[in-house]
Structure 1
Amino acid sequence: MSDLGYRPCVGIMLVNDEGRAFVGRRIDNREGDWWQMPQGGVDEGEDLKAAALRELHEETGLTADKVSILRKMDDDIAYDLPEELQGKLWGGRYRGQRQTWFLARFTGEDADVDLDAHDHPEFCAWQWLDLERLPEMIIPFKKRVYRSVLDAFRDLI
């Protein structure tokens, strides 16, 4: 599977006024209690910031007027799927993802979150999480990614 490339992806670390991050529990999460920040694929030719706001809306129901983008990470982060998943997800075309992360401040109210806003919800629950707990809540093969995101944005949170 080493000849497979990386799926272009964006992620948003959405933080509230208390400095806690939004995480959702994946609806397809059958083998663990894994939570993640909003993220998803980039359509061909799509602007990265627009893709991040689209993914945020699809996964949380939040519209662009409920967030303020503070920063984009300088470098993308690539990760490989575990060997048993490579060639199985995303039509078998990718070995992992190459993610561009954005930091955004939540400017809305908790009631603005609507996990059922999209036809195919990805989260079944959500919470505001203390930043230091983020790496322990994500599926193990993404822990390095979450530590890197935390390091990149910590000064603005």
Structure 2
Amino acid sequence: MAGGRKPCRAVTARLRRSVNRRPGTASPCPWPCTFYSVVAGHLDGGEEVKAAAIRDAREGAGITIAPENMRVVGVMHRRAGDERIDFFLVAERWTGGIVNAEPHKCDDLSWFDLDRLPENVIPYVRRAIESFHRGVWFDSFGWEE
């Protein structure tokens, strides 16, 4: 690859009867900072997708998830200035109480029923949740031009 540029960057996210977080005003975000997302993060390199999701859940929501309680429910290839591959996982069980463990990055951490999400959910996250509901395992976003 010319210049060492990677065509895709893997990102992990997880869905669970919907813990959503809204980025804080101090957090750089491509969407309006009043929009909700799922608890998410990036692979740090040298780590497996489930391990990254477990780490992000601990760092962002203060919970501990055993690997056997995580399952991949979707993959999205999207364009957002660059290309990204997002993995969406569901945690069925965890230990600890869900808290906003990164108040410097996130203004709010709220539960929403997946059938009644607020209007201000980041569009690709909404699409991923809708795909999950329909049993669609792979989707693309941001390629329509």
The aligned counterpart of 1:97 is: 84
Residues 30-109 of structure 1 mapped to structure 2, 5 A cutoff: 31=32, 33-64=34-65, 69-73=69-73, 76-81=75-80, 86=81, 95-108=82-95
CA offsets, 1:82-131, max 9 Å, x none? xxxx2xxxxxxxx132011111124446xx22323x5x743221111011
Q: Which amino acid aligns with 2:22?
A: R
Picking from 8, 23, 36, the partner of 2:20 is 23
Q: Which amino acid aligns with 2:115?
A: E
Q: Which amino acid aligns with 2:99?
A: D
Q: Distance in 2 between matches of 1:146 and 1:96?
A: 20
Q: Is the 8 A contact 1:115 1:121 kept in 2?
A: no
Q: Is the 8 A contact 2:50 2:70 kept in 1?
A: no
Q: Any gaps of 5 or more consecutive residues in structure 1?
A: 16-20, 87-94
Picking from 1, 11, 14, the partner of 1:12 is 14
Q: Is the 8 A contact 2:21 2:37 kept in 1?
A: yes
Give 1 or 2: higher helix fraction: 1
- TM-score, normalised to structure 1's length? 0.65
Picking from 100, 104, 117, the partner of 1:115 is 100
Q: Distance in 2 between matches of 1:57 and 1:63?
A: 6
Label 1:148 to 1:121 Cα distance change in 2 as closer, same or farther (>3 A): farther
Q: Is the 8 A contact 1:10 1:48 kept in 2?
A: yes
Q: Distance in 2 between matches of 1:43 and 1:9?
A: 10
Q: Distance in 1 between matches of 2:132 and 2:118?
A: 10
Q: Which amino acid aligns with 2:128?
A: V
Paired-residue identity, %: 21
The aligned counterpart of 2:139 is: none
Q: Is the 8 A contact 2:13 2:40 kept in 1?
A: yes
Q: Give the count of matched residue pairs.
A: 128
